């Protein structure tokens, strides 16, 4: 093994596959207000805005009792439906790279 092989940027180990049901247009910012909490939860999700809305509606109608969203890195965020204060679903945005992001 050469010293450079461990941290080769082009290796498959560093590539991240999009989760199932990913939003093809980009990322959606979701802000979740939780009762009796000083700060809101903010996450970027690859789920589509319609899918996020359906998940929130299902949690509030009592079908699951739990709001479950997946962020851009594949981590799950779980919030009890009876503790939701508000959910703000942002517009779809793409990642900007380079000097155009300024």
In three state form, how does the secondary structure of 57-85 look?
A: HHHHCCCCCEEEEECCCCCEEEEEHHHEE
Across the range 23-50, mean pLDDT stands at 88
Q: Taking Cα atoms as reference points, which of 52, 47, 51 lies closest to residue 23?
A: 47
Share of the chain above pLDDT 90, in %: 49
Distance (Å, whole) CA 14 – CA 11 = 6
Q: Where are the domains of the chain?
A: 26-93
Looking at the structure, give the CATH architecture of the domain made up of residues 26-93. Answer: Roll (2.30)
Distance (Å, whole) CA 31 – CA 33 = 7
Distance (Å, whole) CA 43 – CA 29 = 6
Q: Who has greater pLDDT, 20 or 94? A: 94
Reply yes or no on whether the pLDDT at 81 is more than 90: yes
């Amino acid at each position: 093994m050469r010293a450079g092989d461990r941290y080769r940027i082009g290796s498959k180990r560093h590539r991240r596959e999009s989760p199932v049901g990913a939003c093809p247009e980009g990322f959606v910012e979701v802000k979740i207000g939780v009762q009796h909490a000083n700060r809101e939860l903010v996450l970027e999700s690859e789920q589509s805005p319609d899918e996020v809305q359906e998940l929130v509606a299902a949690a509030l109608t009592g079908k699951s009792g739990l709001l479950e969203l997946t962020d851009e890195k594949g981590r799950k965020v779980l919030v009890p439906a009876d503790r939701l204060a508000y959910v703000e679903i942002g517009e779809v945005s793409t990642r900007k790279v380079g000097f155009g992001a300024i």
